[in-house]
Structure 1
């Protein structure tokens, strides 16, 4: 007989209904605990045993089940709710216990999901062939009849005609209706003592009498699942609770992990999407609020709150207030929005779930995944291997080819692993991520491995191993296999590290009370072997984030907040007191860069003024690349630091940080009348009060000539840390912004003028010119619509505008509006003629004209390539010369 069979027989012998530990079986058989634990876990995989509890883990005998499904409803539920591991294992044990399962009592606060869990148990019983597919699941809330004990007992057990006043006929009770299935008694503490007594008689013998019957005993095969929010010892009769061998406690929402709450939120929103048959779009800040707000009534309240938010968003959609079903944090009740101010308690949100530069998450009724979420399939080696193996097998690879591909991917993974983990998690913050037990395990492993390998291991290995072991243990808890397809290669190529890793498995098993497969030793060996190999090379590519802002502590305060939230010390803050001259500040900056030996790219985040020019001076003197973002906020610092830590390039960090301006989500709504939609806006910005912005608007109104049906002047007041880019984006959703009048420089391509330029009337002329140009193009659209036969007037005008702009840029000049009309008409008709196969008029003395105007010819010909490519035409030298004439007369220049 094999050892595993001996262990199985001993388990059956020793299990008296409460479970047996691996140590008890090992002592009884004289075998090692590790071998027995391994066999017991294999028995669990085969469905011959189940685990109960966590510390110590107990194993219970289960008779062999035929036709076992690969993954049950409870298994799927457990994948996203790992904190309910013990509850799920207990539920499985209760259903599978011979001959007819065990009665169950579920404990938990209001709203933790006791009813839903009972339904999952019923489904599991059907999946495991313990109950018929059509077996009943009947729910009865004892509180509904708590004030009428006779009626309550009559509902459950049935009643005989005349048993009590109003009993006019024989009535079948729920116990009879539930025959062959499950009767779920919710709020069982409201069951009166006489009802409890009748129940424990039924649970003992499987027989009962209807209320009023004395001579007839009835039978029913029913599994009782009861639930209560109260302490059963003080509320229920001991004779009743003694008949319920399996008591399962469900944790409250506050006891469950952020991961699980995130999964619940996604599940509930997706359910609403399915009901509505439409996508539901949820802002990042709304997700943060749902994740963090105080939810005293647990999952039930969370689900209700999400349903109400979805209902409100749907109402706004059907009433045309919104174009989509969209939930923004500003639409949520205040008690939910309060969750936004609790982020310091949930630092991992920044790194794990919610991308700052993703404004919305899109939930679709047909999609299991969420759009706009980053792919996490390669966050750990196990998921990467699962994904890659499946991909390669689908491609038809096998044998040596598959091995080579997997070897390359595993090597690549470990080469980048330390850098990636340490970019996200600091040693000082690691306990917040993986828990104290994992940290203690890693400390013991590091100490042991350093002694055996006779070398000092890096802090990078410390973090990397902590995250890796955390993933490994979580995977094992979910009964997912750990497979290392390169185990033998690792064993031979890294024999010393592999032997140390084998001993480290024993440390993990002892401290964490889990059984680790040998495959895991291969991964630990790779961690030891790759320690210190590539981190230095990678670090040279880092982007430094330096914040410079006016004030005695402005920059350092923003940096401290960002670093604390991210658990790092990455960002650098340089304060610029108001009484310190800019030259003194940049001298301090240069001294810092020299002393720190910084040679990498730098992203400068500054507030305003001369600080925006520091990057250019640093580039000249130090020969390093820089980029600068003005109007810095703490959120900019957080996003820039995150992306820099994760190894993004300077351009990528710059672009992603700029996106914060676009996607900041606590929205400031600009009240625009519906009649103003689609207008062209001149925006006046002020930071000293709305009145100042309105005063500037009045000056512009007085001196500018424009059609109020087409143009408008929008005054806005910027307060606090509010982003000007967010306000501009709000306006751009409805209108086109023609130009901006502001007291400070804004990082945008939109033309802008200073307040002093408006007050002195210097800006009036150039702003009027912009208005005239817009008017010209608007009118040209109507004109060309009737002129052109082969191309779209709207499309071609946009391209002509770019074409003229390119030439103006090269010539460093501006064309007046009259000349603009001539050029636009000529070019539009030329393109239309060439598309229709029309002829080209010869330009007199073409060669001589080109020689006399070589530079202009080069510029126009180059710009014509845009049109050639777009419209699949060939603009000849004759046509180019005609176009040149529009740019070659001083009379047309302004």
Structure 2
């Protein structure tokens, strides 16, 4: 006879006896039946959920049989229930009847296995759906009666406290008063919160060995103790599900792993069948279709590329890729009412390349054709197989701070540490807050109007304008959105007369510009709305300002070059800057005329260094004499580390700049590496000019990467356009330039060099300025013997490439490839009508500005021209711009505002 049946029959016997009204405690039943009290308690709770017995609250809890069940036989109807609902809990899981069939069967067995289920470990890469499977197991348990409908599902990420085992164990098992410093009251843990339900431990491999030991003891006995207790007298009925991305054998103790009999391994998305990949992709596109309330059409080639590009990111990465593609397509078709379209041409390069492996497998191509013959078409009403995610709660800075403070206080964290943690966490959240919003079809203004009054939105804009005069924000829109919502929360607090416990007190520097601005904002609110705002609010305002202030990423070691002579140091630094292409590098030149006193020179150096950020240290490069002895004095007066090197030369300065540009390098590391520097090796070039080698054009920039590779692509475009694509284009950097040219010269015939520095070899040199201006295009065509096919309008290939690159960096919603030809045509119309001829840099500046103006029109966030300057606008030029701008209405259905046209006129 099963234990639950013994307990039920015993209660029936008591009910039929003379003590029919008597209710029993779990302890009394356990004593009479000779069963552990914890096991009896577990069975009594099951019987109560099944409706077989009554529970009488009190201390202790009492149980008695229901009158209608006095003669019933206890029947566990789990099997019948399973047969009825077998297609509900896991029916949304794609692959449940195919590649994940075994995993689903394991999950079901873990839930219904008597008496209390099997503790389970789910293993798989990030993004494969471990959390989703755990939730489905919980829903399945409720459907078969294993869990009550109101049973808890508690989630805990073990990585949150992996570096503090005591705090982690306290979080899981709870602690008593006095268990550790700061524990001023007893606090229950997650085990108690999850009683009669599931505790899901994500990243369970982060549990320390002592934590694993406590959990496997709980698995064995069902008993546990809070941190600080000596006896394990507490009981709970909890099914534990763990999840890990690691190999259990290498990250879990053997004894702990033995306590988890059920290990479910979920395969990565790349290993699942093509049919399942297509189903998952279809579901994700359907979800996006619902979000934007428009049908979505995806071409067959785009589907192949998306499927073929699936990598280690699994479903999570696939979802992000699809969301970005839908956002781009939505904005491309924002002026139309029909479906949005995703084609292969609009995919980014990393996804486009996915079509190659798909095109090599005939079976996959046939399968895609069978399922999605002419592409994919989904609508908002298409059936979705995945549960939808709940929307994020509105931004509430007070709630964020208070929740964080309360949680940390429960953990017994010291007050000073709490303040530091709160400031760091809120900063991190606010920085990413606005980026999480998906409703890109609305401007920030319109989005705020859905939540707060128009008057409050206008006031928030005034505050943003004030702030922008003093500090540079990461994003005006993000600050406007966050501040507007915070303002709404402030007035709700004032209206509800809620007192503010300022958890931020003392964490904000009262001498900072942010705090001073926050004080001014407080006064503005009081004056505008005739309310009294508490002083503590100032720190909340300052918190927002600090969180959304653009960070200074230029903290690098400062190089100070000090040399005798009128212009010696300045000249050397200017040469080094040009060679290194580092106009913003933290390097200063100090020229010391022979009649200048050392004390005056020292004071000049100190004064300039005090006005810049040199906290990472100063590298002083001097030539000789007293300048070499300034180091210790500078270190004392500036309060920063200083290292000095003498006998400075131009290569020495160049190498120092190169080393200082390396992220995270220390002053000592640069100093040690430069002590033995003897200059760059210079090899005399000896290039064999025989013509039996492949021809090559060499591009030179500062590093051979980045800009040099862009220049390489420009030259390749020119050569392809001139039908000279057999010529090799090789990018190199300035460092070891002559050595590299020698190596290239042995293998190729160098017919031209393009770049920032003339290497003075036996080959024509084309400065990068000429390439940018368009003249270099013609010169290069002549060098390679293609001058007979040059036409005037073909010189725009360089301009087009630069414009596309620039717009790619600036535009988020519009596709640069689609609008570039229209922008070039707009410029041509202006040139023709105004009888002007602009060079490529001028055209580039105009095109980038106008491209950004078009995007501003799309998101309803156009610039406002200063009314005072409108009277100075040239009316003839404005008329030409208005005529030319019709091309945007005809081709893109985008109309420039008058203010944006004023700006264009002012630029020409």
- When normalised by structure 1's length, the TM-score is 0.34
- When normalised by structure 2's length, the TM-score is 0.33
